[in-house]
Amino acid sequence: MSESLNTERLTADTNGICRAAELLKAGKLVAFGTETVYGLGALASSDTAVARIFAAKGRPRFNPLISHLADAESAFAQADLHGRTKDIAYALAEKFWPGPLTMVLPRAPNSTVSDLAAAGLNTLALRVPRGKTALALLREVGAPIAAPSANISGTVSPSDASHVLRSLDGRIDAILDSGPCSVGVESTVLDLTRDTPVLLRPGGVTLEELTALCGPIHHPDDFAEALPSSPGRLASHYAPSLPVRLDAYDVRPNEALLAFGPPLPSAGLTWNLSETGNLEEAAARLFSGLRFLDAEGTKRGLTCIAAQPIPRQGLGLAIRDRLKRAAEPRPLSQNPG
């Protein structure tokens, strides 16, 4: 985080849940327990709030985050479901929600989940967690809450409030203490965007349980190419149709500019991630900027996006990682975005 915070300790009663919901709706970070592990929650519709998750965790990549909702109806309102995918999703929800199963589904055009939470993809990771406190909090907020595990990136996931505080005290706004988690391992992640479902991460729901309901299920290693909906597995996640030139110290006549800090002169089109050089602001504006420069630059006949250098520190590492992925060569058949 850019500044040290006073982390509030909230008890899992009506007052604590209402206070946690109030903080979340104001764009703050609140850790809360589910049946799997403690999640670090932020309002999924706010790029700025989601950027604070990555800053607090020291997360080096903008991977897709799981959005948590209070019930299946609310979750599926964020997705674009048809045919067999819809049938399987509803059957899975009937059996395993609330519970430790995350479904990766096509993103609805009117979804309120932000680009940053979705990592710029056309898919969403959605879950209805089990647990009285978590569900009461989600109902009180009334909106999707993005919540990866509440720990510094790369460390062991927390199954107790004390684990969260050991890692994130002073870096988040509050923790809602609902006691130890009953499962203690992350949710199973199942991708339903392909003809055959794909197990992206084993977890609280077993492969055997899923197969009994869905039929055959693939593993990511069954595919020669990486999977766009699987966090960190694809070299080029969201990528604009225009090529991206990294660490640009000049702007060529055919280029749009993705600026950071004082912009380079003479660009045909500019989007500034942060005029003041604030990395949290830059992270929140990254995907919007790429989409704007891609669409508007193409209309104006520009053929490239030049990205000014981003610092190799803090959230700058995650921004640089995503820009590098956007700049990766892609197969012609891959549909970006």
- Work out the pLDDT band at 59, boundaries 50, 70, 90: confident
| Rounded Cα gap, residues 207 and 190, in angstroms | 10
Q: Which residue in this structure is represented by tokens 């988040």?
A: 172
- Give the per-residue pLDDT at 239: 73
Instruction: Answer positive or negative: Cα dihedral of 216, 219, 222, 228.
Output: positive
User: What average pLDDT does this structure show over 294-322?
Assistant: 94
- Give the per-residue pLDDT at 99: 96
pLDDT, tens only, 154-185? 888 899 999 999 999 999 999 999 999 988 78
pLDDT of 64 over the 70 cut: yes
- The one-character DSSP state at 224 is S
Task: Report how far apart, in Å, the C-alpha atoms of 24 and of each of 14, 40, 120, 126, 146 are.
Answer: 15, 11, 22, 18, 10
| Rounded Cα gap, residues 324 and 337, in angstroms | 15
- Work out the pLDDT band at 101, boundaries 50, 70, 90: very high
Q: What are phi and psi of 207, to 5 degrees?
A: -60, -40
Q: How many residues does this entry show for the chain?
A: 337
Q: What is the mean pLDDT of the chain?
A: 90
The pair of three-digit structure tokens given for residue 281, joined into one six-digit string = 């602001």
- Give the per-residue pLDDT at 335: 37
- Give the per-residue pLDDT at 183: 83
Cβ-based neighbours of 96, under 8 Å, separated by 6 or more: 205, 209
- Identify the CA nearest to 29 among candidates 143, 176, 186: 176
Gyration radius from the chain CA atoms = 20
- Give the per-residue pLDDT at 322: 85
- Give the per-residue pLDDT at 156: 84
pLDDT, tens only, 184-232? 788 999 999 999 999 999 899 999 999 999 999 998 665 544 444 444 3
- Give the per-residue pLDDT at 228: 45
Q: Is the separation of the CB atoms in 157 and 138 below 8 Å?
A: no
What single-letter amino acid sits at 199?
Answer: L
- Work out the pLDDT band at 65, boundaries 50, 70, 90: very high
- Give the per-residue pLDDT at 185: 81
Q: pTM for the whole thing?
A: 0.86
pLDDT of 275 over the 60 cut: yes
| Rounded Cα gap, residues 55 and 40, in angstroms | 12
The pair of three-digit structure tokens given for residue 10, joined into one six-digit string = 């909230």
